[in-house]
Amino acid sequence: MPGNQILIVDDEIGIRELLSEILQEEGYSVRLAENANEARKQRNQHRPDLVLLDIWMPDTDGITLLKEWGNNGQLTMPVVMMSGHATVDTAVEATRIGAVDFLEKPIALQKLLATVQKALRPSVAQLRPELNLSSLGKGQVILDLKKQLERVLPLKTPVLLVGEPGVGFEACAHFFTGPGQQFIAPENVEKALDAPSELLQQATNGVLFLREIGKLAPRSQQGLMQVLGKLEKHNVRLVMATSRPPADVLQDRTFDQGLFALIANLQVALPPLRTHREDVPELAVQMLRQQVEQKRVASVKFDIAALNALRNHDWPGNLEQLQNIVASLAATAGSEDISAQDVNRLLAPYVVKNTLGAADALDLPLREARDIFERHYFEHHIKLENGNMSRVAEKVGLERTHLYRKLKQLGIRFSRRGSAE
């Protein structure tokens, strides 16, 4: 909306001046940068509400700069890419990284204004930091997940994302959004499914993301069935998510098994945070930087011991829990660095709960209760044997190959030469 500050990054002075003149006439405040280095300075000093970023520049290209901002937790504003001779693949790559849209040069006046207005909508601008896969991590586990998503991407079949609560369902769902496509994710899924035709109309030519479909009431299941029947007509890509194990849904007599067969035809499993805990320190730094960038807290940082304490936690609530813990640490840190003592104090209630998990597990389904016990059991023996897997295998009465397979199933990271991670 008029009054917002827009940063235009383009090495061609004529384009910078033309876009600046148009946007200023519409009431926007405009700043200019002729290269990536100047763009970095402008972004850090003035925190623009929107960036129009050219792809081809002499020092650093726009895609690389976009990746840099995303990896550093600085993609806190919407970015629209611009180019006169970019391929479709380039536009798609920019969208996957975190760009909200793409403008092809020469840029028509109405197209420019419509794209800027769309990018500045609160529903777009406020979500940017969490929309790309880098918000899940950069280790091998997440790289493998990205490969799975890339294989699924060209298919028209509805996708079901499966995993524990808080693993980053929405970031993965955004991976399916192409350049200029809208992303519809109703907060109240059951209410939205009461009016399936209206929901499809909103999502036409875009991506529709439905959370926790494994817990839908029978009436909402009927609405979902209607949505499935009209996806092609409205050109909608449907992505769904559930933290409820598919086996539980199959045993639930209140859930339409025919419907579940349709929506579970193409599944992608999302890894829990404990299976890629090597990503935790960098994720925590990125989340803290976002808090500072958005001026929610003073400029603080983690010391090394604090990051190690975060890395060693099990994170039963996954990325959402990590985000909440980082926000709490940032809000209570004052002007000092965040220490391991600060982290351990905040995580203490969760550690106590995990220690008592075997007792609490009596109220859980058998499979979940068994997993809790086995996880504590194996972690206990790995610690006792100082990570010597040969002695652990002998102690617990399993062959080493069976032991490794079991530890992998339970999400216990370990070294075949060293200790559990």
Nearest Cα to 53, choosing from 2, 3, 97?
97
Cα 311 from Cα 335, distance rounded (Å)? 23
22 and 124 together in one domain: yes
Check residue 131 and give its pLDDT.
53
257 and 149 together in one domain: yes
Domain boundary among 129, 160, 193: 129
Task: Report if residue 416 sits inside a domain.
Answer: no
Domain boundary among 108, 129, 150: 129
What is the pLDDT averaged over residues 52-70?
90
Cα 149 from Cα 155, distance rounded (Å)? 10
Check residue 210 and give its pLDDT.
97
348 and 362 together in one domain: no
Cα 23 from Cα 113, distance rounded (Å)? 8
Return the axis-axis angle of helices 304-312 and 340-355, rounded to nearest 10°: 10
- Mean per-residue pLDDT of the chain: 86
339 and 394 together in one domain: no
pLDDT surpassing 90 at residue 50: yes
pLDDT surpassing 70 at residue 146: yes
16 and 46 together in one domain: yes
| Bond preceding residue 106 cis, omega within 30 of 0 | yes
Residues 172, 178, 182, 185: what is their CA dihedral angle, to the nearest 10 degrees?
-10
116 and 204 together in one domain: no
45 and 91 together in one domain: yes
324 and 368 together in one domain: no
Between 176 and 376, the more confident residue is 176
Domain boundary among 334, 355, 376: 355
Task: Report if residue 381 sits inside a domain.
Answer: yes
Which one of 116-120, 198-202, 248-252, 372-376 scores highest in mean pLDDT?
198-202
What is the pLDDT averaged over residues 117-135?
66
Task: Report if residue 291 sits inside a domain.
Answer: yes
Cα 329 from Cα 346, distance rounded (Å)? 8
pLDDT interval class at 128 (50, 70, 90): very low
245 and 155 together in one domain: yes
CATH assignment at residue 24: 3.40.50.2300
DSSP string, 63-122: HHHHHHHHHTT---S-EEEEESS--HHHHHHHHHHT--EEEESSPPHHHHHHHHHHHTSH
What's the number of domains the chain is made of? 4
259 and 170 together in one domain: yes
Check residue 127 and give its pLDDT.
47
Cα 317 from Cα 208, distance rounded (Å)? 25
Pull the structure tokens for residue 137.
């991590």
How many helices and strands, by DSSP H and E, does the chain display?
22, 10
118 and 18 together in one domain: yes
Residue span of the structural domain in which 203 resides: 133-269
95 and 144 together in one domain: no
Cα 402 from Cα 408, distance rounded (Å)? 10
Cα 18 from Cα 33, distance rounded (Å)? 14
Do 226 and 201 meet the contact criterion of CB atoms below 8 Å apart? no
pLDDT surpassing 80 at residue 420: no
Cα 16 from Cα 104, distance rounded (Å)? 15
pLDDT surpassing 60 at residue 89: yes
CATH assignment at residue 181: 3.40.50.300
pLDDT interval class at 123 (50, 70, 90): low
pLDDT interval class at 355 (50, 70, 90): very low
- pLDDT per position as a tens digit, 318-333: 999 999 999 899 888 7
Task: Report if residue 415 sits inside a domain.
Answer: no
CA 25 to mean position of chain CA atoms: 37
Check residue 361 and give its pLDDT.
59
- pLDDT per position as a tens digit, 264-303: 999 999 999 999 999 999 999 988 888 877 666 667 889 9
Between 379 and 318, the more confident residue is 318
pLDDT interval class at 220 (50, 70, 90): very high
To which residue do tokens 């972690």 refer?
379
pLDDT interval class at 356 (50, 70, 90): very low
